Structure 1
Amino acid sequence: MSNSETEYQQRVARAYKWNFCASVVDGGVFSFTMSLLSPVVVLPYYVKLLSGSELLSGALYMLYALGRSLPQVVAANVIKHRSRRKPFMIWMALLERVGLAAILLSTLLIRGTDVSWSLAVFFSGYALLTFSLGFMSPAWLDFLAKAIYKRRGTFFGVLNAIGGMLSILGGIAFTVLTRSYAFPLHFTAAFGLGLAVSLISLAALAAYREVPSPFLAPRTSLGEHMRSLPALLREDRNFRNFIFSRAVIGVADVGVPFYAIYATQRVAGGAPEVAVFNLTLMASQAISTLLWGYLGDRRGYRLIYQIATATGFATAVLALVASDLGGYLLVFTLLGATLGGLVIADSNLVLEISPRAQTPTYIGMMNAVLGPVTGLAPMLGGALATAWGYPTVFAVAMGAQAAGWIGMSILVREPRDTQRPGVALVH
């Protein structure tokens, strides 16, 4: 090992505890902010109240899915040859706060029946927020891969636990606000609180102690990188089958933005009930991820996909047959468990499938394929809801979950049973 590499590792080690704490504060506090702008419960309900349109509610989730996934391929190519990630992250974080401010402004522009300016400002701000998050994600994860060089599992466990608890606190805050203020003031208060708290997260991000990396990838054009991807899919059959099966599961997102809307219609509820649904969803997702992670470590993450598609199927079935508040609380409990399972499985199975040297490429490819599917599915859901009603939407979701379960069970091999040379289960 050269002297420069030794010095680099020593500097990273000295900053380890500081970066551990700063990253937990950053990620945990930002989870509180995002709980007040949930793309599954809060924001679809806000857009529905504002516009009366199922299509626009579906477009909201499309923006979330596309914004969080598609920019990652471009961002990885932008940062890979740079020695520092923090300046790029700071710029993206500032753009995120501008997006949050625009979302808040949209609530202040509501004037009677003319909501065109409010909708335009809201969707512009939300697009800026989600795409900034997507651009920032590879840089943030790469920073953590270097800065949190040991006990990374413990780190993510602490981060998710604190983030989950703060998300629940955010859900409680939203519940209190909906019971204290009428529309649109409760959204103004919620979005304003989210923006204010996000400044704490920004301060924690600014406090990161980054050691410039001596390990730089060569600069390549985006075109060269993109042209190399089709060959990867042709050569790795298991990865290709995984991408296909996961994309089929993604079609089930046709129903995700509409469970809260349908539930409020069935139980004659309003904003207070939506707040309770949101809190139930976040609590279920936070708790279930601990169980999913424990099970995945011991039995493999393909099993998590199989169980999550089963709970997703049950979610859609129960949404159709439930008739009271208790039934729909169970719907959002199952939905939270399903989403939690997919988060854990998405973060881990691709790592076990991919060769160690190609892990970033595999992750980027997965997100590039899944982004359009999960982004367009809610738009399809909005069109189906408008034409044939919500039961049709949930029937399509059931079919996608069932087909995804078959794909994961038959087409995708468990990587731990078929480990190839150059593939490491621990990255």
Structure 2
Amino acid sequence: MTSSSTAFNQAVQRNLRRNYLVQLAHGLFGQTGFRLIQAPTFIPAYVYTLSGSELMVGVARACQALGQALTPVLGATLVEHRRRVLSLALVVGALMRLQVLGIALAGILLSATWNLVALCLLLGLFGFFLGIQGVVFNFLRAKTIPPEQRGLLAGLRNALAGVCASAVAYLGGRYLIEPEVLGNGYAAVFGVAFLLTALGLSMLALVREPDSPEVRERSGVMARLRDLPALMRSDRNFTMYFLARALGSMGRMALPYYVLFAGTRVELTGGTLGILTAAFLIGQTGINLIWGILADRRGFRIVFNASLLVWILAVLLLMQTTDLLPLSFAFVALGTGVGGFMLAAQNLVLEFGSLKNLPMRIAVANSVSELTTIVGPLLGGVLVMSVSYLPVFWIAIVFKCAAIVIMTRYVSEPRHR
């Protein structure tokens, strides 16, 4: 081991307790706020309220996914040559949060038509900066937290954020959306989301980041794109993980339509929306503590497969429900499956290959994952308008089953290699 690697490992261990607690606090506030934007309830219901069109729900989510798909490779080129990336994470994090503030202000200041246009544009910009931040923050976490402790940290971050986000979602639906606070209750909820995420970003500034022991020479986006074939050929295990993640992500095509389907079974008031959002977030983030502990003990590969299976079972339950109580249980199960899948997909990539090439591996995995999310919701919207919700749900299940098969047969646990 080189002297720089030794110094790096010593710095990681010396600052581990502080960085662990700081990233826990960052996740508590930041994820609480972002869950209100990312949950498959508030934004889809908001877009449907503004437009009356299922297709526009897919368009809005596709705008975010497009922005998120375009920038991970850019994020990798911004990171790879830097010894430290914390300052970059803070700048990009601030730009993300400004889009959330813009969504809130647009809802208060603009007419419905212009609000819808602004919402799609701001979601696209939010995705643009989120694509960069996904690379930067995951690289920062990989530098500061050892692999065997990432699962519990991710689980705790999600669990604590889940409790808070569930409460905020319920109260927001009941006391902000139903009485139309500020003339637009949805905008008020997104304003709360901005304040929470801004507080989370202030926590991130307290991280103590060690210098990377090795970095790549600075290169442009096109040069790194030309390196992709060699990167994929060099590690078949990573390539098959990449394919499994893409197929699992294609299963997210149905995600914006779960709450609209629920609206065909019960009246979708602000209170009902708050309950379903809280149920989803309890499952998505609360159960992630169990997923995280399982990942630390057995690896993220088993979490990937198990969470997709739970997600499939949750959709089967959703399709059979007609009342609010079973719908709430279905949304808890949906959150459990979706949350576990995202936890495993985002953390498994950190365990392939060397630290030097990690930003690019994160970038390519995130980009393709989001590219599928552009196509998926649009295809789903067309199918919903022309046929019904059920074909969308069944097609998404087929993609998830394919992901399980590939992960089980062709991907070995990278932690044990």
Give the total of aligned pairs. 415
Instruction: Report the AA paired with residue 80 of structure 2.
Output: K
Please name the residue that 2:41 is paired with: 41
Write the mapping of 1:91-170 to structure 2, written as runs, cut at 5 A.
Answer: 91-111=91-111, 115-148=112-145, 152-153=149-150, 154-170=152-168
Q: Which moved more, 1:376-385 or 1:227-236?
A: 227-236
Aligned to 1:230: 229
Read off the aligned partner of 2:90 and give its amino acid letter.
I
- Equivalent positions of 1:347-366 (< 5 A) are 347-352=346-351, 354=353, 358-366=357-365
Amino acid at match of 2:73: V
Q: CA deviation at 1:155?
A: 3.8
Aligned to 1:312: 311
Which residues in structure 2 correspond to 1:264-413 (within 5 Å)? Answer: 264-352=263-351, 354=353, 358-410=357-409, 412-413=410-411
Tell me, yes or no, if the aligned pair for 1:352 and 1:425 is still in contact at 8 Å. no
* Residues in 1 aligned to 2:289 and 2:252: alpha-carbon distance in whole angstroms: 23
**Larger deviation: 200-209 or 321-330?**
200-209
**SS class of match (1:268):** coil
Of structures 1 and 2, the larger Rg is shown by 1
Rounded Cα–Cα distance in structure 1 between residues aligned with 2:76 and 2:351 = 20
Question: 8 Å contact 2:149–2:296 — kept in the other structure?
Answer: no
Residue 16 of structure 1, CA deviation:
4.7
Aligned partner of 1:30 in structure 2 is 30
Query: Matched residues in 2 for 1:186 and 1:29: separation?
Result: 21
- 1:425 shift after superposition: 3.9
Secondary structure (helix, strand or coil) at the match of 2:319 reads helix
CA distance in 2, matches of 1:207, 1:351: 23
User: Once the two structures are superposed, what CA deviation does each residue of 1:318-343 show, in whole Å capped at 9, x if it has no partner?
Assistant: 33222111221122122112112212
Is 1:82 equivalent to 2:82 in the alignment? yes
Distance in 2 of aligned mates of 1:15 and 1:258: 44
- Residue 150 of structure 1 and its aligned partner are, at CA, apart by 8.9
Give the drift of 1:144.
Answer: 3.0
Describe the shift of the 1:252–1:180 C-alpha distance in structure 2 as closer, same or farther (beyond 3 A).
closer
d(CA) in 1 for partners of 2:252, 2:372: 9
Shift of 1:42: 0.8
Paired residue secondary structure (1:265): coil
Tell me, yes or no, if the aligned pair for 1:81 and 1:216 is still in contact at 8 Å: yes
- Whole-Å separation in 1 of the counterparts to 2:21 and 2:97: 22
Q: TM-score, normalised by structure 2?
A: 0.88
Native 8 Å contact 1:177 1:189 kept in 2: no
| CA drift at 1:68 | 3.9
Is this contact kept in 2: 1:355–1:424, CA < 8 A?
Answer: no
What CA deviation, in whole Å up to 9, does each residue of 1:190-247 have, x standing for no partner? Answer: 1122222333223223344445556432112322221121233345444333333332
1:190 aligns with 2:192: no
Larger mean CA deviation between 286-295 and 385-394 belongs to 286-295
**Structure-2 residue corresponding to 1:420:** none
Provide the C-alpha distance between the structure 2 equivalents of 1:373 and 1:7, rounded to a whole number of angstroms: 41
> Deviations for 1:135-163, whole angstroms, at most 9, x for unmatched residues?
12322233333344697435434433322
Give the letter for the 2:27 counterpart: G
1:93 deviation in Å?
A: 2.2
The match for 1:177 is 175
Distance 1:7 1:367, change over 3 A: closer
Is the CA contact (8 Å cut-off) linking 1:319 and 1:328 kept in structure 2? yes
Q: Which moved more, 1:310-319 or 1:218-227?
A: 310-319
* Distance apart, 1:388 and its partner CA: 1.1
SS of residue matched to 1:267: coil
CA distance in 2, matches of 1:151, 1:295: 11
Give the conservation status (yes or no) of the 8 Å contact 1:39–1:61: no
Query: How has the CA–CA distance of structure 1 residues 327 and 299 changed in structure 2, closer, same or farther, with 3 Å as cutoff?
Result: same
- The normalised TM-score by structure 1 is 0.86
Deviation of residue 3 (structure 1)? 8.1
Deviation of the 1:278 alpha carbon: 0.6
Instruction: Say if 1:248 and 1:219 are closer, same or farther in 2 by CA, change over 3 A.
Output: same
Q: Deviations over 1:254-295 (max 9, x none)?
A: 211001011012112322111111100110122322222333
Alpha-carbon offset, residue 28 of structure 1: 1.4
C-alpha displacement at 1:7, in angstroms?
A: 7.1
Query: Is 1:200 equivalent to 2:199 in the alignment?
Result: yes
Deviations 1:395-419 (A, max 9, x none): 2223223333333344x24x24xxx
- SS of 1:91 mapped into structure 2: helix
Letter aligned with residue 140 of structure 1:
F
Q: Alpha carbon RMSD of aligned pairs, Å? A: 3.0
